[in-house]
Chains A and B, each alone.
Chain A
Amino acid sequence: MNEAEIYQRLFETHLLQCEGMFLSGSAQVNGQTVAVIGTRGHAAIDTTLALKLAEAILQVVRADSTAAPRPIIFIADTQGQALSRHQELLGLNGYFAHVARCVDLARRQGHKLLTVINGEAVSGGFLAYGLLADTICALPDAQVRVMDLRAMSRVTKISHVKLEELAAVSPVFAPGAENFWRMGGIDEIWSAQDNWQERLSKALTQGNQTDERAASGLARGGRLMAAPVASLVSG
């Protein structure tokens, strides 16, 4: 399924602009207007792309400051952060923190935030915005991971074969939307047969403004210690 077909299946109608790896616009979900902001083409997120994401979020917040806040749908397709000395020197982590603050502002201003993972959701690029939404839904082919096993093998000096063996038995380590769901990091995984418009519309009514991921991870058996240990500390 190509990108245009995916948006067609997600939204009743939509008016989306693509600008390189950046995507923005608006769409209709069950008669309701939503803002759409995202990345495409497995984008490596650099400072320029991060600034576009942040600006788009701020624009929606500004536009709705005297109106009912529209839900924001984040479309996440990122291979992670751009890797270069230049990006590090500019302080890419600070640009990501800025995007995160914009996401937080939108939430505080009453915008519902929902991420649809289309393609890849990897590490830093996913942390910056997609993973901060109230609700996170993965399309059937979504690849969710922290680091490519080949890259991890080069960084850790552990052989690729050994990492693949570990991935086969360890859901806490292995890439995959299912594993993130078990840990509470993803709320829904949609199938190819599902009616995505219906699922999106329903998911938008169920968003949680507080962070319930540790409790979900406990209930689903994927993260048994996160919730109790945090409670032990917070008393």
Chain B
Amino acid sequence: MNRRRVSYFEASARVRVHGLVDENSFVELCPAELRKTSPHLASLDAPLAFDDGVVVGRATLAGSAILIAAQEGRFNGGSVGEVHGAKIRGLLELALLTKPVAVLLLVDSGGVRLQEANAGLIAISEIMRAVLKGQSAGIPVFALIGGSCGAFGGMGIVARLCNEIVMSEQGRLGLSGPEVIETVKGVEEFDSRDRALVWRITGGKIRRTLGEATRLVDDLIPAFRDAATRLLARYVELPPVTLDDLQQAQHRLTERTGRFAEVSDGQQIWQQIFSESAGIAGLTVSDFNRLLGDQP
């Protein structure tokens, strides 16, 4: 496989994992051979996946020990069911024991799996607590977002709990997906078929502009790898989140709600921030990063 030019968006979860980590370093935990499938999908006669739509394991990244989970967006929209969620939580609990330099979550999910909604919701809450527990034990958690399902629902919350978010322009991050808002509130509120609009609301560029994504990268597996590797260098240690930290975050978010009280399109945010905002949606990733003053 040519590792240089592989699209992250097009790749499967397994291809992403193998392309991201050091060659031949990945060891899968609870592998597909064990066939831990969803009992709830089975009882509905729905298609099953032997990995329940998520690959988890340990590996090295630029020589450092990491743990990694990758959701498979092509299986039930990367949705979190009982088994799927338990694998991610188990990985985060393993981190408390093995102390990797980071846990990487390759999020590609619409959120809770509706066919097993109750178990999925609790599983996401468990993942949230496990992320927070890992972080307070000094283990950084990164989210990588660039798949077709983005990071929505509870996984959108999980992603924003992470210390870093690496996103491609194609990646999307939010809470309620455009389709959900359109079906409940009407097409005039959110036209989910207006692709450009959807990306100006949820896509990598606007999320990077607001500081949620910490890196915007090209849609290439090596670009994600490079960004994650560079970010690792920031975490010699990770002190626990303090009251002061959260008061500052409270201040920043209050300011955002006030400053952008009237916006309903990412373009309006760009107009407020940049003197030249007309062509931002069309900029290449490197030109966009230059505009933001980001290091490559």
Contacts and interface: CB of A to CB of B under 8 A. Distances in A.
A234 interface: yes
Contact of A127 (B128, B183, B210): B128
A90 to B, nearest CB: 6
Contacts of A166: 44
Contact of B175 (A92, A104, A174, A180): A92
Given A85-B264, A171-B118, A233-B30, A128 B157 contact: yes
Nearest to A57: B246
B189 A85 contact: yes
B179 interface: yes
A58 B246 contact: yes
Interface stretch (B217-225, B251-259, B273-281): B251-259
Contact of B119 (A91, A109, A126, A223): A223
A102 interface: yes
Contacts of B291: none
Interface string B168-189: 0000011110111101110001
A226 B29 contact: no
Contact of B260 (A89, A101, A185, A211): A89
B254 A51 contact: yes
Contacts of B226: none
Interface stretch (A8-16, A68-76, A150-158): A150-158
B249 A98 contact: yes
A152 B176 CA distance: 13
A119 interface: no
A216 to B, nearest CB: 10
Contact of A101 (B83, B125, B161, B180): B161
B240 A108 contact: yes
B24 interface: no
A227 B132 CA distance: 19
Nearest to B38: A225
A88 interface: yes
B279 to A, nearest CB: 20
Interface string A22-44: 00000000000000000000000
Interface in A87-146: 87-98, 100-102, 104-105, 108-109, 123-124, 126-128, 131-132, 145-146
Given A91-B207, A93-B157, A223-B119, A185 B125 contact: yes
B59 interface: no
Contacts of A65: 243
A113 to B, nearest CB: 11
A159 to B, nearest CB: 14
Contacts of B73: none
Interface centre among B40, B114, B122, B256 (most CB of A within 10 A): B122
A199 B133 CA distance: 29
Nearest to A121: B121
Nearest to A62: B243
B94 A235 contact: yes
Contacts of B247: 58
Contacts, number: 253
B241 interface: yes
B160 A94 contact: yes
Interface string B97-122: 10000000000000010111111111
A104 B173 contact: no
B160 A226 contact: no
Contact of B246 (A81, A90, A101): A101
Nearest to B151: A93
Interface string A149-186: 00110111000000000100011111000011001110
B90 A90 contact: no
A147 B122 contact: no
22 contacts: A58-B250, A61-B243, A83-B180, A83-B181, A88-B176, A88-B201, A97-B157, A101-B241, A145-B117, A151-B184, A155-B183, A172-B117, A185-B121, A211-B126, A211-B133, A214-B89, A223-B122, A225-B39, A226-B123, A229-B30, A229-B86, A229-B90
Of all A-B residue pairs in the complex, the 6 with the closest CB atoms, nearest first, are A233-B90, A230-B90, A97-B160, A146-B117, A93-B156, A229-B86
Interface of A: 47-48, 51, 54-55, 58, 61-62, 65, 81, 83-98, 100-102, 104-105, 108-109, 123-124, 126-128, 131-132, 145-147, 151-152, 154-156, 166, 170-174, 179-180, 183-185, 211, 213-214, 217, 223-227, 229-235
Given A173-B114, A232-B34, 9 more contacts: A62-B243, A88-B175, A105-B243, A131-B122, A145-B117, A211-B130, A225-B86, A229-B36, A230-B93
